[in-house]
Amino acid sequence: MKKILLIDDEERMLDLLSMYLSMAGYACYKSTSGIKGLEMLKREKIDLVLLDAMMPEMDGWETCIKIREFSDVPVIIVTARHETEDIVKGLSIGADDYITKPFDEKELLARIEAILRRVNKHAYVECNGLLWDEERYVLVYNGQTLVVTPKEFSLIGTLMKNPNKVLTRELLISTLWSEDTETEGRTIDSHIRNVREKLRGVAFPVEKHLKTVWGIGYKWEQ
């Protein structure tokens, strides 16, 4: 279930959006100001931000700029006016899409889905200098490309894409192997071992990030 953060100073609009998006199967987080929104974004793992352009104190553009300082989360800006100036401005600060009020609910949904799909495509995660890039199929730390096997690559990807969350061996196996596999839990351990070794090999502080959760499984800590 994808999580959408709504930022708008009008409560009525928040409720409206939230209701509609919840019905469409999204989990909604509401925030009445840019500042609160930023905090929420840091705390929760948000998949997309719907950001009102016109807000008192910190407006949408400014909020978007701040978001881009620490996150690549997709941002859709909601504007009342439809003007070229706004669009150009939005693109230049890293917004992903635009929608104008009043908007058609179907159009909004379509845009959200389009962006979520697109973002899903070029999947990459970064953590403390370590970059996992699915499209290029590389794992890079400080400019050095690590040579990892396909299984190792998908294993570390799964972990990094779910930071601060324990993944059981069971879950990892059902994610990384096809359904009818006979593979048993200990196999994960072997791959974890290899991943750790290779990360240590390039002086990545693997102990700080790839943790063993006793009796449960493994976890990537950011």
Partner DNA sequence: CACAGGAGTTGACAAATCTTAAAAAAAAAT
Partner DNA sequence: ATTTTTTTTTAAGATTTGTCAACTCCTGTG
What are the residues binding DNA (CB under 7 A)? 147, 149-152, 177, 181-187, 189-194, 196-197, 212-217
* 181 lies in the site for a second copy, by CB under 8 A: no
Query: How far apart, in whole angstroms, are the C-alpha atoms of residue 160 and residue 218?
Result: 11
* 127 lies in the site for a second copy, by CB under 8 A: no
Q: Which of 83, 184, 189, 197 touches a second copy (CB under 8 A)? A: 83
SS3 readout for 23-77: HCCCEEEEECCHHHHHHHHHHCCCCEEEEECCCCCCCHHHHHHHHHCCCCCCEEE
* 207 lies in the site for a second copy, by CB under 8 A: no
* Contact assessment for residue 59 and residue 9, using Cβ atoms and an 8 Å cutoff: no
* 65 lies in the site for a second copy, by CB under 8 A: yes
DSSP string, 166-198: EEEHHHHHHHHS-TT----THHHHHHHHHHHHH
Residue whose CB is less far from a second copy, 203 or 216: 216
Give the distance, in angstroms, between the CA of residue 13 and the centroid of all CA atoms in the same chain. Answer: 25
* 137 lies in the site for a second copy, by CB under 8 A: yes
* 80 lies in the site for a second copy, by CB under 8 A: no
* Contact assessment for residue 31 and residue 63, using Cβ atoms and an 8 Å cutoff: no
Q: How far is the CB of 180 from DNA (least distance, A)?
A: 11
Closest C-alpha to 96, from 122, 73, 120, 65: 73
* 26 lies in the site for a second copy, by CB under 8 A: no
* 150 lies in the site for a second copy, by CB under 8 A: yes
* 117 lies in the site for a second copy, by CB under 8 A: yes
Per CB under 8 A, residues contacting a second copy are 59, 61-62, 65, 69, 82-85, 87-89, 91-92, 97-98, 110, 114, 117-118, 121, 135-137, 149-150, 164-166, 213-216, 219
